[in-house]
Structure 1
């Protein structure tokens, strides 16, 4: 399960485009982008409850 490195929250939205790849933290007090997720296979293994 993904954990935000900034706030410790575990609700995130995977995001990928031509320039960015990572997870956007959905915590109301955070909202930061974690670009450290390099392996797209990790997001493919996530369940809906992880988001």
Structure 2
């Protein structure tokens, strides 16, 4: 599957949404997520799919 964004602004907004969601994810974990890049990638692909 390929995921793309129309422009830098759209990508930046997707990153902001992922960052906010990841903050909630870390609260639930109770610690920092060292593998945050993978988490962001999965979140952003899934968000784009829906």
TM-based fold match above 0.5:
no
Structure having the higher helix fraction is 2
Greater relative contact order (Cα < 8 A, sep 6+): 2
Structure having the higher strand fraction is 1
TM-score tier by shorter-chain length is under 0.3
Choose 1 or 2 for highest CA Rg: 2
The TM-score with structure 2 as length reference comes to 0.25
